[in-house]
């Protein structure tokens, strides 16, 4: 019987990311006849509870404290160090997002617990919990076995499906208090700058048109924008394009950027470096457009065009538009 604690924050409780973590937790609980508890840091409103129960939680634990109102890492780590033992969960799961990738290791250290990050599956065996994750930029899949508990895990985004919505399901709710001192907060957010997103968000897009070093500058990204607009998708980019300053960092798909799993990924002027593939190789259909027939991207693409994107994209966009209208 493996009980799982899913960690989320009020602002994130109803998100797709939390739904994915709950999906992993629910499946593990069902395998072992365990219970899924969702700890919501920062307290919350009834709307979050219904989404969490529908998404797989048996029990919602509200953890309220003024220092938890913002997702501040020091406060969250300190709070969870108290919350985890109190809930008695064997497995603690967080989303592998900008918050979880910092929180999970620090929490594991405080609790002297094992740690498995970026898991694409979490299953049970006899007396153990098995985490599977990619290594070497996606070239390998590793199995990590936890036999001591609690164990902390982060769930790789866009790799685990949420469960089918359990409509009308309602479970238990409890409130947990934590003791936190202001002096434990050592980093401060001075300013938040939200990025203006026109259209669909990159990490949720079903179609992505992405550009790399082969674009040779920022202006050609307009071709990709035009295509993305017709396809109702988003525009992504590689580390090379970001480091050259052509596009914002938030457009980056890859090992240190976003992980995406669209139905269609069109890679334009992208060589196919391992660090990029790590972020998009799970895309359902991959199309590559590149002048170099030996580019590694053609080894992972389903469809390829060897040629100059400047000559190919405009007629492609026009044809796609025409097909959509017919």
Partner 1 sequence: MNIVVCVKQIIDPEIPAEQFTLDPGSKRQVRGGLSLVISAYDQNALEVALQLREKVGGKITALSLGDPEAQGAVKSAMGMGVDAGVLVSDPALAGSDAFGVAHVLARALQKIGVPDLILTGCVSGDTGHKMVAPLLAEELGLAYLSFVSRIEVRDDKVIARRIVEDGYEVVEASPPLVASILSDDSNVPRYSKLKDIMAAARKTVPVWKAADLGVSMAQVGPGGQRLQVRDVAIVQRDSRCELVSGETAVEQAERLALRLRELKVL
Q: Which of residues 135-174 bind partner 1 (CB under 8 A)?
A: 135-148, 151
Choose between 35 and 286: whose C-beta lies nearer to partner 1. 286
Asked if 320 is part of the footprint of partner 1 (rule: CB under 8 A), the reply reads yes
Asked if 312 is part of the footprint of partner 1 (rule: CB under 8 A), the reply reads yes
- Tell me how far CA of residue 81 lies from CA of 64, 111, 178, 323, in angstroms: 14, 7, 10, 56
Q: Mapping DSSP to helix (H, G, I), strand (E, B) and coil, where does residue 122 land?
A: strand
User: What is the x/- site pattern for partner 1, positions 6-45, by CB under 8 A?
Assistant: ----------------------------------------
Which residue in 186, 198, 219, 325 binds partner 1 (CB under 8 A)?
186
The DSSP H or E segment spanning 174 is strand 172-177
Task: Determine the size of the site formed for partner 1 (CB under 8 A).
Answer: 90
Q: Mapping DSSP to helix (H, G, I), strand (E, B) and coil, where does residue 119 land?
A: strand
Query: Under rule CB under 8 A, which residues in 51-80 are in contact with partner 1?
Result: 73-74
Which residue in 190, 198, 217, 219 binds partner 1 (CB under 8 A)?
190
* Residue whose C-alpha is closest to residue 314's, from 264, 276, 268, 273: 268
Relative to beta strand 59-64, strand 207-211 is unpaired
Kindly provide the b/e burial profile for residues 93-109, where b requires at least 16 CB atoms within 10 angstroms of the residue's own CB. bbbbbebbeebbebbbe
- Residue 200 beta carbon to partner 1: minimum distance, rounded to whole angstroms: 14
Report residue 296 as tokens.
């590694």
- Residue 27 beta carbon to partner 1: minimum distance, rounded to whole angstroms: 20
| Stretch of residues binding partner 1 (CB under 8 A), selected from 39-47, 51-59, 170-178, 256-264 | 256-264
Choose between 58 and 203: whose C-beta lies nearer to partner 1. 203
Which residue in 28, 35, 116, 237 binds partner 1 (CB under 8 A)?
116
- Residue 53 beta carbon to partner 1: minimum distance, rounded to whole angstroms: 25
Asked if 285 is part of the footprint of partner 1 (rule: CB under 8 A), the reply reads yes
Kindly provide the b/e burial profile for residues 131-160, where b requires at least 16 CB atoms within 10 angstroms of the residue's own CB. bbbbeebbeeeeebebeebbbbbbbbbbbb
Choose between 24 and 60: whose C-beta lies nearer to partner 1. 24
Which residues make Cβ contacts (< 8 Å) with residue 217, sequence separation at least 6? 246
């Amino acid at each position: 019987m493996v009980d799982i604690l899913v960690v989320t924050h009020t602002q994130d409780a109803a998100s797709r990311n939390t739904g994915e973590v709950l999906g992993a937790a629910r499946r593990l609980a069902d395998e072992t006849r365990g219970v899924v508890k969702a700890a919501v840091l920062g307290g919350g409103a009834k709307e979050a509870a219904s989404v969490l129960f529908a998404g797989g939680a048996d029990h919602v634990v509200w953890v309220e404290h003024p220092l938890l109102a913002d997702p501040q890492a020091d406060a969250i780590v300190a709070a969870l160090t108290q919350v985890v033992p109190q809930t008695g969960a064997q497995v603690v799961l967080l989303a592998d997002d900008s918050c979880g990738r910092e929180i999970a290791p620090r929490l594991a250290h405080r609790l002297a617990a094992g740690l498995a990050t970026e898991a694409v599956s979490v299953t049970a065996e006899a007396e153990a919990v098995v985490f599977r994750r990619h290594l070497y930029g996606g070239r390998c899949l590793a199995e990590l076995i936890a036999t001591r508990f609690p164990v902390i895990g982060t769930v790789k985004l866009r790799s685990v499906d949420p469960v089918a919505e359990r409509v009308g399901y309602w479970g238990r709710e409890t409130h947990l208090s934590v003791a936190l001192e202001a002096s434990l907060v050592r980093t401060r957010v001075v300013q938040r700058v939200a990025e203006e997103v026109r259209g669909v968000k990159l990490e949720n897009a079903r179609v992505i048109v992405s550009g790399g070093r082969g674009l040779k500058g920022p202006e050609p990204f307009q071709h990709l924008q035009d295509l993305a607009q017709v396809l109702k998708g988003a525009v992504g980019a590689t580390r090379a394009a970001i480091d050259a300053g052509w596009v914002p960092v938030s457009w980056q798909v890859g090992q240190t950027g976003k992980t995406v799993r669209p139905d269609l990924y069109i890679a334009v002027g992208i060589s196919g470096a391992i660090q990029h593939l790590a972020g998009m190789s799970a895309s359902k259909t991959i199309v590559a457009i590149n002048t170099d027939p030996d580019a590694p991207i053609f080894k992972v693409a389903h469809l390829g065009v060897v040629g100059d994107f400047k000559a190919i994209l405009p007629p492609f966009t026009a044809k796609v538009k025409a097909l959509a209208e017919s």
